[in-house]
Amino acid sequence: MTTRLVEGSAVVAEAMVRAGCRFFAGYPMTPFTEVLEHMAESLPRVDGVCINAESELEAVGMVWGAAAAGARAATGSTGQGLSLMQESIAEAAMAGIGFVVLNMARGQGDYFQATRGGGHGDYRTPVLAPSGPAEVTELVADAFELAERWRNPVVVVGDYYMAHTWVDLDVAAAVPDPPPAPDWALDGSSGGTGSAKLVSPLGTTKQRDGVGYDLAAHYDHCAQRRQAMTEGIAPRAECLHTDDADVVLVAYGTMARYAEAVVTACRTEGLRLGLVRPITLWPYPSEIVAEACAETKVVAVYENNAGQMIDDVNLALLGAAPVVGINGFRTDSSAFGIAPDVTVENLTASVQALFEQYG
């Protein structure tokens, strides 16, 4: 094993190349920018293509085309840029075109954007949330598998901390070849055969079949596929010391790593604190959260925003335990989500107050 010290963004890029991503398009925006830089450097080495698109609209359009042409493809951005991509992400789900979207958020104010999406129509996107660079490789690979399996965009959520945390990366292992293109992908060869392929968000029945586009039938089909996807993806979460916990924290992403440190600190002092860390933000691990919190006195949701995931925790618990949000932390003047209040000490103090309140 040969390791190199790299920033988290390089780990994300390396994970995508190893997962078979051979087409990437993006528009610079912090902290997505560094991923784009690393992809621009990495992809040509494996005969892949990285395009510095002229807008996020164009980036996601390019990825739409590359994915339909059979490549493992990805794009991404940060809040505003992802807002611009929502139309294409929503319609790609209707067209059955799968690709990976990196939501390299700043803080955690884009939880709703990631998990609900801002697009139109009756669609959902699976969302995976690594807690740091160490988990990125596995979850990025999972994201491409899900995108291909369900022919649906899949979101991977990162943040400013994850993008800029420097870690050791194993650079010795050979890069595997990408998998072959799926059967439905376009390569031109079915033209002139009497049954040329069609990939469209409006349906796949052709006029020669006496049907043409039948939106009602197509949307029914999309709804069935969405239902199968919902049931077919096992929700994932990691539980820490929840068996005997009086207080359970729920946190995802980088914030969960702070929460882990708080659990260790509280346990040292004899305070029975547990942690549930959702890994799939959609489908949300509601049953795991409910089970982990079944005996607890209070559930504390720790997120670097004014309270978004707390809605999902409430839906998971349905009133079985009181749920309070530990959030509202200030962000610094950069607005990059580098919340100066996000410290193990501050979080520990908040948790200790809960122990006193709920005894």
Partner 1 sequence: MNRRNNDELRVIATEHAPDDANQVADFTPGLIDVGEHHLCPGCGEPIAIRAVMDAIALLGLADTCIAVFGIGCSTAFSNNLDVEVLQALHGRAPSVATGVARVHPGLAVFTIQGDGDMANEGLQEVLHAAARGENIVCIMLNNGVFGETGGHLTVTTTIGQRTKNTLDGRTAAEHGHPMRIAELLAQIDGVGYVARGAVNDAGNVARTKRMVVEAFTAQQAGLGLSFVEILTMCPTGWFVPTDEAPDYLASTLAGTHGVGVLRSALEPA
Asked if 30 interacts with partner 1 (CB under 8 A), we say no
For partner 1, give the closer residue by CB, 31 or 201: 201
Q: What one-letter code names the amino acid at 36?
A: L
- 3-class state of residue 108 by DSSP: coil
For partner 1, give the closer residue by CB, 193 or 333: 193
For partner 1, give the closer residue by CB, 183 or 356: 183
For partner 1, give the closer residue by CB, 28 or 307: 28
Cα 78–Cα 82–Cα 86 angle in degrees, nearest 5: 170
For partner 1, give the closer residue by CB, 64 or 123: 64
Minimum Å gap between C-beta 38 and partner 1 is 19
Cα 119–Cα 140–Cα 336 angle in degrees, nearest 5: 65
Candidate segments 100-108, 165-173, 191-199, 350-358, binder of partner 1 by CB under 8 A:
191-199
For partner 1, give the closer residue by CB, 84 or 344: 84
Chain Cα centroid distance, residue 343: 24
Q: How many CA atoms lie within 13 A of 145 on its CB side?
A: 12
Structure tokens at 242: 């929840």
Q: How many CA atoms lie within 13 A of 111 on its CB side?
A: 24
Candidate segments 172-180, 181-189, 259-267, 338-346, binder of partner 1 by CB under 8 A:
181-189
Q: Are 98 and 147 in contact (CB under 8 A)?
A: yes
Candidate segments 85-93, 167-175, 237-245, 286-294, binder of partner 1 by CB under 8 A:
85-93
Total chain residues near partner 1 (CB under 8 A) = 51
Asked if 71 interacts with partner 1 (CB under 8 A), we say yes
Q: Cα–Cα distance between 77 and 87 in angstroms, integer? A: 15
Q: What one-letter code names the amino acid at 135?
A: E
Q: Cα–Cα distance between 87 and 60 in angstroms, integer? A: 10
Q: Pick from 41, 168, 170, 187: which binds partner 1 (CB under 8 A)?
A: 187
Q: Pick from 2, 5, 54, 333: which binds partner 1 (CB under 8 A)?
A: 54
Largest CA distance in the chain: 75
Q: Which residues bind partner 1 (CB under 8 A)?
A: 22-23, 25, 49, 51, 53-55, 57-59, 61-71, 73, 87-88, 91, 95, 186-203, 205-208, 212-213
